[in-house]
Amino acid sequence: MIYRLPEVGDEAALAAYVREHHDNGETSISASLGLSSSDYAEWVEKIRRNASVGDDEWGRSLLYLCLEETGLIGLLSIRFELPASLSEKYGDIGYGVRPSERCRGYATEMLRYALSVCREKGMSKVVLGCYKDNLASAATIRKNGGVLFAENEKYKAGRISQYYSIAL
């Protein structure tokens, strides 16, 4: 798998990625940082700025396209400079895999790669948030050494968020 920042030339591939989620009945695109509601060129600029200079509140972060020879498989977000308060609320890592490529081990591989990046950045642990009913994501986290440490009910959506930590 190749991991890289998005470029202006990826617009068609990302549009197809978003469309596939919508066709599958999914309205939110995980780890996309507002892709489907943004002007594409501005979105690319924002992602590249986040990787280089970062943001006062969120620090620097990476949003990688995860590519195989067949094309775009998933998106991976690595927020390696989050202050503890945001890390515990949103998690340091997010990911999504396109519907047609799920259940092939890609998310497990992507999370393993994200952990290696975090380790290189000097982090000693990461936090991941995941809804309790998202069994696929919970399994992905557990397979990468995640240990459940907290959960709380989200009153707005009526769902339970769970938080896992992984020691690096």
Footprint of ligand COA (CB under 6 A):
30, 95-97, 102-108, 130, 134-137, 139-140, 143
CB of 36 to ligand COA, least distance (A): 14
Cα 88 from Cα 163, distance rounded (Å) = 8
Tokens encoding 119 = 């380790």
- Which residue lies nearest ligand COA, judged by its C-beta? 107
If the CB atoms of residues 6 and 74 are measured against ligand COA, the closer one turns out to be 74
If the CB atoms of residues 49 and 99 are measured against ligand COA, the closer one turns out to be 99
If the CB atoms of residues 22 and 104 are measured against ligand COA, the closer one turns out to be 104
Tokens encoding 19 = 């469309």
CB of 156 to ligand COA, least distance (A): 17
- CB burial class (10 A; 0-12, 13-18, 19+) of residue 163? buried
CB of 160 to ligand COA, least distance (A): 13
3-state secondary structure of 133: coil
CB of 41 to ligand COA, least distance (A): 25
If the CB atoms of residues 18 and 48 are measured against ligand COA, the closer one turns out to be 18
Angle (CA) 131 137 139, round 5°: 115
If the CB atoms of residues 48 and 145 are measured against ligand COA, the closer one turns out to be 145
CB of 43 to ligand COA, least distance (A): 19
With b for 16 or more beta-carbon neighbours within 10 A and e for fewer, the 80-103 pattern comes to bbbeeebbbebbbbbbbbbeebee
Which residues neighbour 138 within 8 Å (Cβ) at sequence distance 6 or greater?
130, 132, 162, 164
